[in-house]
Chains A and B, each alone.
Chain A
Amino acid sequence: MSHAHADEHYLQAKGFYNWFFSVDHKRIGLMYLLAILFFFLVAGFSAILVRTELLFPGHTIVDARGYNVLFTLHGAIMVFLFIVPGIPATLGNFLLPLMIGAKDVAFPRLNLLSFWIYLLGVVCVLYALVGTPWKDWLDTGWTLYAPYSVQSSTGVIPITLGVFILGFSSILTGLNFTVTIHRLRAPGMTWHRLPLFCWAIYSASLIQILATPVVGITLLLLIMERIFGIGFFTPALGGDPILFENMFWFYSHPVVYIMILPAMGVVAEILPVFSKKPIFGYRAIAYSSLAIALVSFFVWGHHLFVSGMSYWSRWVFSLLTFAVAIPTAIKVFNWISTLYKGSIRLDSPMLYACAFIFLFTIAGLTGIPLATLATDVHLHDSYFVVAHFHYTMQGGTVIGLLAGLHFWYPKIFGKMYNELASKVGFWMLFIGFNMTFMPQFLLGYFGMPRRYYDYLQEYADLHFMSSIGAYLNGLAYLFIFGNLIYGLFKGKAAAKNPYESLSLEWTVPSPPPLTNFDEVPTVEDWTYGYASEQNA
């Protein structure tokens, strides 16, 4: 048995026990990263199958039910196993204590417990999705809408249970991070010196704590509906499927901000470093995260504009949804102002960060016709919606995650990846992504409904183009992750602070020692005091 030293870095520990029972936030973050990237690839592969079915009109590789199974597989794994834990559980876990000058999160054991609970949820979800004979694979779509989810003979109960368990994991992570940020900041790390990534994680954590229990109870009700026939969602028994939709979106709209806020935080960390300029509008960006978190609780009705909702409710929900645009635009303006007159270096983290701004802006702007009552009647449940949320989720969250992975890769692994290859991967992704989803805006606008396995001849060209784009998109991910994995083995050793960031996590060695800081650091200034050549 080797005796570990305090200056040993966190990656040195070997063996199952040292990892699976580790309460170190960095190891837990890394285990989450492995898990969610694995599921990202699985769900990505099912997306490739979906797009293959849609290459040509009519039956291509699966029948109509098979198609339902495929998009359920894609959606459920992407949402529940990949993107909800997403950036907070991975980069958040790894960076949060380092950024605020703490040795770990507030409850290290609870943090590990969250990970174990996540794995338990994974088992349930996978059982429902692929654990049974093919004819019983879940076919409800990830939204599990009543009344179909009450009737379907597939594994609704196991997936519902699984998502409930995953929600518990998510709540505990959010709770842990909230307490960490409130209580564990190093001396001098005031709220207004807190890195913007931490503000974003903080805002997302609040949503995790306050919105997740509502989907929890909704899912419990769905289970009870199937076991006892409690009737809440069944019209014949006096219930109402719309109640399920309301309760479901009360969580599932805010959850979008659990996904996107941390990505925004990543971008806010990268832009000043690669522009050599202080972040512009620090407080505006920080408080807009909180504002988005707050408003996100009052907009769920925009998913129900055509499902039966009173005139005035629709009016109010539409107005409130527009209100989200204000804090969001505040962020975008401040990011762009940060770039203005900066001495910009276009290393790959910065490329991803800029792509985030561009793609997320498209995502945000295409949200407006969906929030508008008149246009939503036309666009609702069409490919326009599919394109819109993929611009948010992939163009926003996934690109943000990749930006963060490339930026903090040297810190996390102590190695460098090949910069040229990562740029090639970036452009493959950027082109592939836009080629996949830009045509889908048009498809939706021309009337192509989502979740259909067949389509009219007039949509064939755009569908074909979208599928080809999806293949390029998929290849890009293999290339990007291939490059990152190659760097682990063959990359040259990374310096302590290769990008000359002023943030606390770069003051410790790469990779960081197990206990992060020898001494608790004292913070004298905010983290964005960069001086460009012009200012200097």
Chain B
Amino acid sequence: MSAPGTFFHAHEEDPVEAYQNFKFGMWMFLATEVLLFGGLFAAYFIFKYRYHELFVKGSSHLDWRMGSLNTLVLLISSYTMAMAVDAAQRSENQKLIRNLLLTLLFAATFLVVKGFEWIPKFNHGIYPGTDIYFSIYFLTTGLHLLHVLIGMFFIGLLAVRANKGRYNSENFGGVEVGGLYWHLVDIIWIFLFPLLYLVGSV
């Protein structure tokens, strides 16, 4: 079917232009994401101000060691992601694939640790709605978890495409933009961790 200007027959763009547009677009999208979480953070601070005691008590139910472990895991995954971008820019395909897979592995580790945190809480009858603190806890970590899953999906996609040899020093926009997104997921966690886990100690 010859149908120019339709979804599967869009006209080709200059790759350098497309890369610049793509990157710019992702920065805009990250701004949206920051505001999305911003609403939740605002709710956090309002309720923390009103119910300080409740937050200290709730926070004491969290295991700061697990939180720290996950912080470390995400930080390392950000590092491997940065290495993946670097590898793509140098056309080192094997290294690119390896770093993408490592990033995926760390992301999966994050999920497993999260599971070890959430499931015992459910077993103890702690859910969103138990009290305001745990509502905030489950909503923020849940929304973040959703972003981890989305990030994993795209990193997996990058790995599949890297395996087909799609990326090199001329064409690495996808990896770089994926990296931007993944770093945001990491940064949001860096803010969530002290707010949720370390309330009692400040």
The residues of A with any CB-CB pair to B shorter than 8 Å are: 1-4, 6, 10, 13, 17-18, 21-24, 27, 103-104, 106-110, 112, 171, 175-176, 178-179, 182-184, 209-214, 216-218, 220-221, 224, 228-232, 237-240, 243, 247, 250, 514-515
Contacts and interface: CB of A to CB of B under 8 A. Distances in A.
B105 interface: no
Top 4 nearest A-B pairs (CB, nearest first) are: A217-B39, A230-B135, A213-B36, A213-B35
Contacts of A108: 10
Contacts of B5: 10, 13, 22-24, 27, 514
Contacts of B127: 228
Contact of B21 (A171, A179, A218, A237): A179
A109 B129 contact: no
Given A107-B25, A243-B43, A515-B11, A231 B36 contact: no
B139 interface: yes
A1 B1 contact: yes
A250 B35 CA distance: 11
11 contacts: A6-B4, A13-B3, A103-B11, A175-B32, A176-B25, A178-B28, A179-B24, A179-B28, A210-B31, A217-B40, A231-B129
A359 B193 CA distance: 52
B1 A514 contact: no
A3 B132 contact: no
B130 to A, nearest CB: 9
Contacts of A214: 35-36, 38-39
A23 B10 contact: yes
Looking at chain B's contact residues, is the secondary structure mostly helix, strand, loop, or mixed?
helix
B191 interface: no
B28 A243 contact: no
A218 B135 contact: no
Given A4-B4, A230-B129, A247 B33 contact: no
B10 to A, nearest CB: 5
Given A183-B20, A231-B129, A175 B33 contact: no
B24 A213 contact: no
A2 B29 CA distance: 39
Contacts of A182: 24
A246 to B, nearest CB: 8
Given A106-B21, A228-B127, A21 B7 contact: yes
A349 B135 CA distance: 53
Contacts of A213: 32-33, 35-36, 38-39
Nearest to A230: B135
Contacts of A112: 7
B128 interface: yes
A152 to B, nearest CB: 19
B51 interface: yes
A237 B36 CA distance: 24
A231 B50 CA distance: 14
A171 B129 CA distance: 30
Nearest to A108: B10
Given A6-B4, A10-B5, A247-B39, 13 more contacts: A17-B6, A23-B5, A112-B7, A175-B25, A183-B20, A210-B32, A216-B36, A220-B143, A221-B39, A224-B139, A230-B128, A247-B42, A247-B43
B2 interface: yes
Contacts of A21: 3, 6-8
A250 B33 CA distance: 16
B6 A22 contact: yes
A454 B64 CA distance: 59
B118 to A, nearest CB: 14
A106 B26 CA distance: 12
B131 A17 contact: no
Interface string B116-146: 0000000000011101100100010001000
B69 to A, nearest CB: 27
B132 A239 contact: yes
B28 A175 contact: yes
Interface in B19-71: 20-21, 24-25, 28-29, 31-33, 35-40, 42-43, 46-47, 50-51, 54
B6 A23 contact: yes
Contact of A209 (B1, B8, B32, B40): B32
B145 to A, nearest CB: 14
Contacts of B37: 217
Contacts of B10: 23, 108-109
Nearest to A27: B5
A239 B139 CA distance: 15
A22 B5 CA distance: 6
Nearest to B24: A179
A275 B155 CA distance: 56
Contact of B131 (A4, A10, A212, A231): A231
Contacts of A209: 28, 31-32
Contact of A183 (B2, B8, B24): B24
Contacts of A216: 36, 39
A485 B6 CA distance: 26
A238 B51 contact: yes
A428 B128 CA distance: 55
**Residue from B20, B25, B131, B143 whose CB has the most chain A CB atoms within 10 Å:** B25
A220 B39 CA distance: 11
Contacts of A24: 5
Contacts of A247: 39, 42-43
**Residue from A178, A221, A231, A239 whose CB has the most chain B CB atoms within 10 Å:** A231
A323 to B, nearest CB: 22
A175 B29 contact: yes
Nearest to B6: A21
Contacts of B29: 175
B24 A232 contact: no
**Residue from B1, B5, B8 whose CB has the most chain A CB atoms within 10 Å:** B5
B131 to A, nearest CB: 7
A514 B40 CA distance: 44
Contacts of B143: 220
B24 A171 contact: no
A229 B11 CA distance: 49
Nearest to A175: B28
Contacts of A13: 3, 5
Contacts of B24: 106, 179, 182-183
A70 B136 CA distance: 36
